[in-house]
Amino acid sequence: MTLFPELFAPHLTQGITRRAYESGQVDVRLWPLRDFALDTYRRVDDRPFGGGPGMVMLAEPLERALAAVQAGRAEAQAPAAPVVHFTPTGAPITQALVRQMAEGPGAVLLCGRYEGIDQRVIDRHVTLELSLGDFVLSGGELPALALLDAIARLQPGVLTAQSHEQDSFSADGLLDCPHYSRPEVLATPEGALPVPPVLLSGHHAQIERWRRDQSLALTLRRRPE
């Protein structure tokens, strides 16, 4: 559910994750919120009660849109799905949450804009509030696209099993290790930068141990919690 459905099309037709969308493993349906405004100007926002800067997304178009989404899911005999609202005050999107959602019944992704949406809509309908991090974006479309991409790449056949095993966030919660490719020695103005010798050794057990050690060290340094 978005004011800007055109933002989604390029991301759903490009890259390796398009396989999940083309196969229907991830079925994305866009609901343009202006279609649910009743006035000539298709207005979906107004000034906040109590004053203050910016505009607030109106409750009534959102209520109509959510009713249409729920009716569409019921007609398709789809199971009830959580309504997700993207906001800086939400819980962080994690790989564990992505896996959980990838195995779930789907979700209704509500992309806010401006100063936010009328709180009454959140109180009535929203199941989960999510955030990309402690910073402010112009709207919920980018977090929604990030979540869709993360879910799509978990679908069978999109990536190889080995790619999943070496993801940036492994099943045990460790961050990914550094990766290197050709040339074996990179010439720079500051001097030669060689690839760690163990990666060229051909000893798979030693390579796996090195990667594990690197993941542990990186996780301890960047995610000590």
Catalytic residue among 63, 129, 149, 167: 167
Residue 47 is given by DSSP the state P
Do you find a cis peptide bond into 32, omega within 30 degrees of 0? no
CB 152 within 8 A of CB 93: no
| Catalytic residue (one of 115, 129, 149, 176) | 115
Q: Which backbone phi and psi does 218 adopt, to 5 degrees?
A: -65, -40
Residue 213 annotated as catalytic: no
3-state SS, residue 117: strand
Whether 115 is catalytic: yes
Residue 132: CB atoms within 10 A of its CB come to 17
**How many other β-carbons are positioned within 10 Å of the β-carbon of residue 72?**
12
Helices (H), 30-189: 59-75, 95-102, 119-125, 141-152, 161-165
Is-catalytic flag, 190? no
- Residue found by looking up tokens 């800007």 in the block: 4
Q: Which position among 34, 63, 88, 99 bears the catalytic label?
A: 88
C-alpha to C-alpha distance for 214 and 122, rounded to whole angstroms: 42
Active site residue 184: no
User: Which residues have a catalytic role annotated?
Assistant: 88, 115, 153, 167
